[in-house]
Every structure is written in C-alpha cells, then in structure tokens.
C-alpha cells in the first residue's frame, strides 16, 4: 500500500455531487469536468425536447437520427444497422453519419459516451451506487475482458442482416431514453431500469463497458481521434487516483510504475492515451493533484 492510498480511498468515498467542483491553483472553486459534461448532456437532450414541444427547430429528432439547424446527423452504428438490414443507405444517412464521424474524429471518438449520451449520465449515478455497495461488501463487482464488446457489436449487426430489421434499437437504452425525452413516456423505460440495475448490482458500468455497440463504434474513431489526453511521467507520483476513478481503467494500464524504466530508456516522458476506449470524461484530470494530465489537440503532431 503506497503512501497515497488513504487519499485514494477518500476520493472514492467522496460525495458524488461534491465532485462537480474542484479547486484551481489559487484555491478557488471551479466547475469540474464532470460538471461540464453533465451540463453538455442536459443541454443537448433539452434541445431535443424543446425542438419537438415548442418547435424551436434547433436540434430535431433523437439520438439515432437528428437535424442540427437543418444539417442531418445519423448515429454511425444506426447507419451500419441500416446498411446490414437493407443492403443500401439513403444519401441523407450517408451524409448524416459522415458528419458525425468527421466531428468525432476531431473531438475524440468516444467523447460521445461522456459528453452526449443520456444513458451515460444515468450510468454514472449507478456507478457511484455500485462502488458504495462494493465498499460495504454488500455485493461483489464482476470484471470481464472489455474486448467482449466487439463480439456484441458483430452479433447485433448480424441480427440486423438476418432479420432485415434494426434489432438492437428495440433494446438500445440510448434510443429509448432519447425518445422518452423527445416524445414522452414509453413502457420500454422498464428495460432501461433493468440495465441500470445490472450495472448497480452486478458489474460496474457493465452495459457501457462490455456490451454497447454504439460506444464500440466510437471506439474505432477514438484510436485515430485528434483530441486526446496527455500524461506526463515526470509529474506523476503514481498515487493511482486516476485509475480508481476511470470508468475504462484498462486505458491507463500504461502509466503503472512497472512501465517507467522502458519508457525512460526510450526517452518518452510524455504519452498520449492512445486507447480508443478513452471517453475523455476528464476524471483523471479532476483528481490528479500534480497536474500530470492535460487535454491536447494533436493535429500539430501530424503535420
């Protein structure tokens, strides 16, 4: 147990809502990355609601397919489902999905999961409850190989191809919540509750981390995305606070001390988080007391 283990425990035990603020170098409170992310999710989904109910025509539709000020946007996995089921895609689907692919290429792939997805917000709340139950030894958390998500990604596309129907959309919690926000109550919300209970009592963020094909599609973009978090080995004291809070903790495996000698031998004292599973949630930035993490747009490294 290292000398920082106590502070890591305090961090994990901290009030969920207290993590909406942290202190800057002058000791003043500022909105944390979690705070900014929740504001982003609420505003985006509120625009869906307002565009339908009072006809403001800013962001019309749902998370599966929408129009932003008249520009079509189609969820990339939904577009793949349409291709698999119909063996063709309308020009608006191609344009809409390409628009999002280009956008997330610049802003960082799976940023969708933490800055846009309405279920992601619920999952964060469920995660806090899950960790509290694990800490009190009421439940045991199950951990699986995150690569299992690629199996589910393939299965859902295969189901669409065989059935000729967007099978996944029947159980997609993102679409269910988005339609509820835009159009109103649906019995399908019961399924969202089931998924949330699965994450609370069985596996930390189990749906998001091991099953969701929407996030898996953005994973592919994340590997080449231009916006990334950069880690500084010389600043890091290996307190493990970032690993404790990271919802995709396998992406931080490279920062562990056992890799330092090899890294120093290569003269690599700063590294990007290259794994496409990084959702750019910024939790590592919020909890790092030595500022070893910072957001970087790496286009300058490619030209």
Domain ranges of the chain: 5-26+228-301
- Contact present, 174 and 96 (Cβ < 8 Å): no
Instruction: Name residue, tokens 């490294």.
Output: 301
The model's pTM: 0.87
pLDDT-derived band at 301, boundaries 50, 70, 90: low
Whether pLDDT at 4 is above 50: no
Q: State the pLDDT at residue 303.
A: 43
Q: State the pLDDT at residue 99.
A: 93
Q: By C-alpha distance, which of 160, 176, 150 is closest to 64?
A: 176
CA distance 276 to 225: 8
Q: State the pLDDT at residue 171.
A: 96
Whether pLDDT at 19 is above 50: yes
Give the single-character DSSP code of 169. Answer: G
> pLDDT tens across 230-285, in order?
999 889 988 889 999 999 989 998 888 887 777 777 777 788 888 999 999 999 99
Give the DSSP per-residue string, 281-293.
Answer: --HHHHH-TT--E
Whether pLDDT at 56 is above 90: no
More confident residue, 131 or 8: 131
Mean pLDDT calculated for residue range 2-19:
53
Q: State the pLDDT at residue 105.
A: 92
Q: Classify domain 5-26+228-301 at the CATH topology level.
A: Alpha-Beta Plaits (3.30.70)
Q: State the pLDDT at residue 40.
A: 96
Q: Using alpha carbons, list the distances in angstroms from residue 226 to 107, 280, 300.
A: 7, 12, 10
Sign of CA dihedral 32, 34, 39, 44: positive
Q: State the pLDDT at residue 9.
A: 55
């Amino acid at each position: 147990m290292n000398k920082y283990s106590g502070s890591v425990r305090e961090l994990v035990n901290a009030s969920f809502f207290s993590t909406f603020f942290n202190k800057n170098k002058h000791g003043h409170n500022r909105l944390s990355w979690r705070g900014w992310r929740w504001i982003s999710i609420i505003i985006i989904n509120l625009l869906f609601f307002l565009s339908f109910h009072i006809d403001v025509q800013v962001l019309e539709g749902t998370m599966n397919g929408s129009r932003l000020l008249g520009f079509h946007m189609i969820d990339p996995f939904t577009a793949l489902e349409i291709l698999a089921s119909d063996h063709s895609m309308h020009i608006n689907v191609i344009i809409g999905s390409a628009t999002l692919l280009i956008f997330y290429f610049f802003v960082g792939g799976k940023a969708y999961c933490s800055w846009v997805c309405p279920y992601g917000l619920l999952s964060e709340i469920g995660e806090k409850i899950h960790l509290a139950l694990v800490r009190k030894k009421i439940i045991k958390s199950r951990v699986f190989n995150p690569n299992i998500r690629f199996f589910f990604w393939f299965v859902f596309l295969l189901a669409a191809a065989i059935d000729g129907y967007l099978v996944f959309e029947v159980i997609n919690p993102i679409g269910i919540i988005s339609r509820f926000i835009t159009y109103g109550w649906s019995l399908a919300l019961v399924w969202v509750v089931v998924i949330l209970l699965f994450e609370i009592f069985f596996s930390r963020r189990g749906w998001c981390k091991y099953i969701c094909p929407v996030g898996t599609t953005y994973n592919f973009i994340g590997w080449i995305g231009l916006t990334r978090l950069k880690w500084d080995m010389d600043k890091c004291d290996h307190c493990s606070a970032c690993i404790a809070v990271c919802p995709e903790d396998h992406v931080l495996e490279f920062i562990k001390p056992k890799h330092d000698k090899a890294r120093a031998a290569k003269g690599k004292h700063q590294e990007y988080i290259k794994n496409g599973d990084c959702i750019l949630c910024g939790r590592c930035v919020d909890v790092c007391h030595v500022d070893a993490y910072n957001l970087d747009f790496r286009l300058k490294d490619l030209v």
